[in-house]
Amino acid sequence: MEGVQSTRIGVIMAGGVGERFWPVSRPDRPKQLLPLGPSSRTLLEDTVYRVGGLVDRERLTVITSRELRDPIVASGIPLAHEQIIAEPMRRDTMGAVAWITAHVLGRMGVSPEEAVLAIVPADQYVGDVETFRVDLRTALAAAEQLDALVTVGITPTRPETGYGYIEVADERVEAPGVPGAIRLRPVERFREKPNAETAEEFFASGRYLWNGGMFFWRVSTFMRELRHVDPEIAELIERMAGALSEGDEAQAEQLFSELPKLSVDYALMEHARRVLVVRARFPWDDVGAWDAWRRVVECDGSGNAAYGRPLLIDCEECSVYNEPGQDEMFVAVVGMERVIVAVTHDGLLVAPLDRAQQVREVVRQLADHRNGGGGEG
Amino acid sequence: MEGVQSTRIGVIMAGGVGERFWPVSRPDRPKQLLPLGPSSRTLLEDTVYRVGGLVDRERLTVITSRELRDPIVASGIPLAHEQIIAEPMRRDTMGAVAWITAHVLGRMGVSPEEAVLAIVPADQYVGDVETFRVDLRTALAAAEQLDALVTVGITPTRPETGYGYIEVADERVEAPGVPGAIRLRPVERFREKPNAETAEEFFASGRYLWNGGMFFWRVSTFMRELRHVDPEIAELIERMAGALSEGDEAQAEQLFSELPKLSVDYALMEHARRVLVVRARFPWDDVGAWDAWRRVVECDGSGNAAYGRPLLIDCEECSVYNEPGQDEMFVAVVGMERVIVAVTHDGLLVAPLDRAQQVREVVRQLADHRNGGGGEG
């Protein structure tokens, strides 16, 4: 594909619900709209800034759910309203990619051969913006020059069971024009979240990378591979693009509703013929729950992560988040170890760090508990 | 003193500050104004109800601080405004007793020989109102018939280090006209809060009762004993009574300010010549801090005390207090053991139960912490 002109389009996927950060996260204010990183900016703002260094600012698109479009506009990211696109309904990450692809094909006036997408999640932590951009430029150049689906794999720092993995093939990829090509390899296969034993094997072998959910491809390459793997979805995208180009939004939405709920990994990447991965080295975290939050912020000398100026006395490795704002609370946590304390003006969670993953279920039980009654006492 | 007419006057001492129930207790809403018992009534309301069964309702007086007078009136106890008397300033329990005595002598038109006081704290838990009244009637009758200072000692149920003790003499008191006189004994001496070893000895010996801070006496007996023990205080009371009888409130307050800050125990009871004690048997607690709260409310099958409908999952022996009201929070506590979680619309405490006594210091540190700054983040 060398010699083809490229227009790089940044796509930030911001439709996540992030229930596991309750009570700070809410349906109208999920993880990506919270300042869960080391800065006071939201994860989405940080992502816009990171990706803004890779593509023209006007070529940056945020794709999200209908419910979140207004909160995202209100959150003050430096993009025009039309750069924030809402999916008609939830159809997982493959739905988001299908919808944005239909928009590129049907509305943006860029040919599928010319359009190169860089698709990244809005709700991740990246510890080193410069390295992130260097590694993503390798992925973009590989997508442009090698006619492949490209992803970025994170070099693991621990035998994590909470992430998917990418098994890397041994052979090198010949790509003399791609900067950083020395870290480019074919993907052997994608692996689901492993159990602890398998995670240890993965970590020890050095052949596995964390799947960061980032995708890079020419639209023409993507459509060709998708036609091979799942021709029905490919056809729906083309028909959505046609409807959008004719201004028939209702028809496009009708077609969108026919999409299955699938992840990009499951729907495409695991079955595609030519997938490459860049072995990235920037510090990364998916900030999946309260236990992850403490990994991405600066902790005090006793390993406590704190936000909103709580008073911690004799605490160790605690995560204490006191929502700042008008209704800010006075918070004192005393003599606790490895405990999450998260409080807002109308909600409170206290739980051990090792139960952070169960917060979603807690929220559901809490809704039942409050609706279902039970005596005051 | 048999044959002397008696007018029983109930005195509820409600000036306590109760910092150890932060964040639920506040300067304008201390322990006695909180529903810390098993009912939804405040401790003060419960006390008014209990003592209301012993004396005429119009002979019931609440004595408190200036700051608390309005909150107490607003709390809706069934007393006339003039039955709630404010001390000019804080002078400990002896100050409160001196002030109420001056009011009885100077304003109520009851002679010191006729007036019999039943003085009880506002902020205690009593588990059995009927037994309480039976035992207090014994104390009142003893005060009326035996010309003595009388107190009520609580039968200990554990080697508690948080209470003062009363050592009981062996000899019986001959008091044929006093109902329940079989449980009346002379006090050998008052003992300060013991260490753990001494508390065990006290508990094992059976000779010690908990000091519940309740006092019963004829005003004439009280004044006679006080003149013997501390004639200066006795003189101040007489002069305050004189000023009040002349309507000179300012002069009475000026005299009050000259009182030392002393407890009734220290100022009088420990040095008085004839002190009797009724061995009471009602369940009692001073509800001194969050760890005590769980003893006086109904706990669930896992030993959790809960107020305000928090959701508890896999918790054991926790104390969770969610302040009810307009700004009620959704609270979830998961997988915790022997932890205090107390939350209001503007404050949160998380601490182990065994640090409940240190909450007062925590509140002071918190004030410094918030005033002193430190970076946001």
Q: pLDDT for A62-109, tens place per residue?
A: 999 999 999 999 998 999 999 999 999 999 999 999 999 999 999 998
- Residue-wise pLDDT for B202-218, tens only, equals 999 999 999 999 999 99
Cα A279 to Cα A301: distance, rounded to the nearest angstrom? 32
Residue B55: what pLDDT? 96
Q: Are strands B208-218 and B115-121 parallel, antiparallel or unpaired?
A: antiparallel
pLDDT tens-digit readout, B288-302: 999 999 999 999 999
Confirm whether B2 is domain-assigned. Answer: no
Report phi then psi at A176, rounded to 5: -60, -30
Average pLDDT taken over every residue of chain B: 94
Residues A137, A282 within the same domain: yes
Which residue in chain B has the smallest CA separation from A373? B309
Both B179 and B91 in one domain: the answer is yes
Distance from CA of B360 to the nearest CA of A (A): 12
For helices B43-52 and B129-146, the axis angle rounded to 10 degrees is 60
- Cα nearest neighbour of B318 on chain A: A350
Look at residue B255 and tell me whether its pLDDT is greater than 70: yes
Which residues of chain A have a CB within 8 Å of the CB of B343? 343, 348
Residue of B nearest to A36 (CA): B377
Strand residue runs (E) in B160-236: 165-168, 184-191, 208-218
Token readout for B315 is: 């918790």
Measuring CA to CA, which residue among B328, B301, B296 is closest to residue B315?
A: B301
* Chain A residues whose beta carbon lies within 8 Å of the beta carbon of residue B352: 334-336
Q: Which pLDDT belongs to residue A367?
A: 84
pLDDT at B377: 35
Q: For residue A377, is it within any domain?
A: no
Top residue of A330, A353, A366 to mutate, by most chain B CBs within 10 Å, is: A330
Q: How many pairs of residues across A and B have Cβ atoms under 8 Å apart?
A: 132
Per-residue confidence at B326, pLDDT binned at 50, 70, 90?
A: low
Give the alpha-carbon dihedral of A358, A361, A362, A364, to 10 degrees: 160
Instruction: Give the list of residues 6+ apart from residue B271 with CB closer than 8 angstroms, or none.
Output: B229, B230
* Boundaries of domain holding B167: 7-286
Each residue of B301-325: pLDDT tens digit? 999 999 999 999 999 999 999 998 7
Pairwise CB contact (< 8 Å): A348 & B327: no
Q: Which of A327, A348, A355 is facing B348, going by the closest CB pair? A: A348
pLDDT at A16 (0 to 100):
87
pLDDT tens for each residue of B70-121: 999 999 899 999 999 999 999 999 999 999 999 999 999 899 999 999 999 9
Q: Are residues A104 and A143 in the same domain?
A: yes
Q: Is residue B341 part of a domain?
A: yes
- The arithmetic mean of pLDDT across residues B143-151, rounded, is 96
CATH number at residue A242: 3.90.550.10
- The residue of chain B nearest to residue A344, with distances taken between CA atoms, is B329
What pTM, to 2 d.p., does this model score?
Answer: 0.89
Domain count, chain A: 2
In a domain, B376, yes or no: no
Task: Mark whether B171 and B303 lie in a shared domain.
Answer: no
DSSP string, B96-124: HHHHHHHHHHHHS---TTTEEEEEEESS-
Residues of chain A predicted below pLDDT 50: 374-377
ipTM of the complex: 0.87
Question: Last residue of some domain: A286, A310, A334?
Answer: A286
In this predicted structure, which of B18-27, B81-90, B220-229 has the lowest mean pLDDT? B18-27
The span from the CA of B247 to the CA of B106, in Å, is: 9
Q: In this structure, is residue A242 part of a structural domain?
A: yes
Do B237 and B117 share a structural domain?
yes
Interface test with B, best of A350, A357, A363, A371 (most B CBs within 10 A): A350
**How would residue B367 be classed by pLDDT, with cut points 50, 70 and 90?**
confident
Question: B166-205, pLDDT tens digit by residue?
Answer: 999 999 999 999 999 999 999 999 999 999 999 999 999 9
A197 and A282 share a domain?
yes
Rounded to whole angstroms, the Cα distance separating A364 from A236 reads 35
Residues B274 and B305 in one domain: no
Q: C-alpha distances in angstroms, A4 versus A100, A114, A145, A174?
A: 22, 7, 9, 19
3-state helix, strand, coil in chain B (%, to 5): 40, 25, 35
Task: For residues A232 and A300, state if they share a domain.
Answer: no
pLDDT band for B376, please (50, 70, 90 cuts).
very low
Domain boundary among B271, B286, B301: B286
Cβ contact A311–B376 (<8 Å): no
Task: Write out the two tokens for A49.
Answer: 């800034």
How many of the other CB atoms lie within 10 Å of CB of B325?
A: 10
B194 and B331 both lie in a single domain: no
Which of A334, A349, A352 is opposite residue B332, by nearest beta carbon? A349
- Asked if residue A375 belongs to a domain, the reply is no
pLDDT score, position B16: 87
Amino acid at B204: A
Least CB–CB distance from A355: residue in B298, B306, B335: B335
- Inside any domain, residue A134: yes
Last residue of a domain, one of A239, A255, A286: A286
What pLDDT band is residue B327 in, cutting at 50, 70 and 90?
A: low
Instruction: Note the pLDDT of residue A86.
Output: 97
What burial class does residue A172 get, using C-beta atoms within 10 Å of its C-beta: 0-12 exposed, 13-18 middle, 19+ buried?
exposed
| Helix (H), strand (E), coil (C) string for B345-366 | CCEEEEEEHHHHHHHHHHHHHH
pLDDT of residue A4: 73
**Do A99 and A192 fall into the same domain?**
yes
Q: Are residues B219 and B303 in the same domain?
A: no
Angle at B58 between CA B53 and CA B61, to 5 degrees: 85
Within 8 A by CB and 6+ apart from B242, the residues are: B106
Residue B97: inside a domain: yes
User: Is residue B278 domain-shared with residue B303, that is, in the same domain?
Assistant: no
Best B299, B314, B330 residue to mutate vs chain A (most A CBs within 10 Å): B330
Say which amino acid occupies A352: P
